[in-house]
Amino acid sequence: MDKVVESAAAAVADIPDGATLSVGGFGLCGIPSVLIEAVLEAGTTDLEAVSNNCGVDDWGLGLLLMEKRLRRMVSSYVGENKEFARQYLSGELEVELTPQGTLAERMRAGGSGIPAFFTVTGVGTQVAEGGLPWKYDDAGNIEVASPPKQTQVFETHEGEKEFVLEHAIVADFGLVRAWKGDRHGNLVYRDAARNFNPLAAMCGRVTIAEVEELVEPGELDPNDIHTPGVYVQRVVALTPEQAADKRIEKRTVRS
């Protein structure tokens, strides 16, 4: 099945207002920047984004944030985005901060058909006990707080330990970026750009992949494929200019 779509605009055209998006990337590394810009240009709003972080003020998911297109973020890191912090603290944005490993596993579980799982991460903290501020009002008071989660004691090789129940994440649409991809939707990521992309692809009901290099079916070694095409519904081939347009959050060089 040829899953190639003619443009990023066509690929995201049916994303409705209020949709939940799982978005690959870590910082600015491996983010689906072309698809994010297409969502921005489409005018889609009231979105919930599930991503490790929210980009920076002028790139990545930060572009949607600046235009007030996001109502909620599920992420593990605020990072360098000052507008993210401002909207959160002023009550304009709901934020579910989640431990990074837990976020990754919630996304993986969603793509694997596992509804929930137990983890030791967060036991004895507000992650398990509830009370984390998800949303403030404009006066700085907590308007929405995280609920308490179910905990249970299990026998482990270290003895009895308490675990907390975390629910899987399934998004309406997944947006990812791959180094190479074929017309069947099989994807290969490069080095650190792999990060959250396989997980975002897995947990999206409809996953859209922008690929830096489109190849024909059979050209990818099956042993090298990171995301099988069964998880991908649409493929957008980037132009050389789009593929080369990448940014670095912080450049550190020797004097």
pLDDT in tens, the chain (255 residues): 899 999 999 999 999 999 999 999 998 999 999 999 999 999 999 999 999 999 888 899 999 999 999 999 999 987 778 899 899 999 999 999 999 999 999 999 999 999 999 999 999 999 999 999 999 999 999 999 999 999 999 999 999 999 999 999 999 999 999 999 999 999 999 999 999 999 999 999 999 999 999 999 999 999 999 999 999 999 999 999 999 999 888 888 998
Whole-number pLDDT of residue 97: 94
In a domain, 251, yes or no: no
Whole-number pLDDT of residue 34: 97
In a domain, 101, yes or no: yes
The residues near 54 (Cβ < 8 Å, ≥ 6 apart) are 60, 61, 62, 65, 70, 73, 75, 78, 79, 81, 84
Number of domains in the chain: 2
In a domain, 212, yes or no: yes
| CA 178 to chain CA mean position, Å | 14
Cα dihedral value 208, 84, 102, 52, nearest 10: 40
Q: Are residues 79 and 15 in the same domain?
A: yes
Q: Are residues 36 and 129 in the same domain?
A: no
pTM of the model: 0.94
In a domain, 253, yes or no: no
Assign residue 12 the CATH number of its domain.
Answer: 3.40.1080.10
Q: Are residues 20 and 108 in the same domain?
A: yes
Q: Are residues 75 and 31 in the same domain?
A: yes
Q: Are residues 20 and 88 in the same domain?
A: yes
Amino acid letter for position 99: P
Length of the chain: 255
Domain range for 67 is 8-113+171-244
In a domain, 51, yes or no: yes
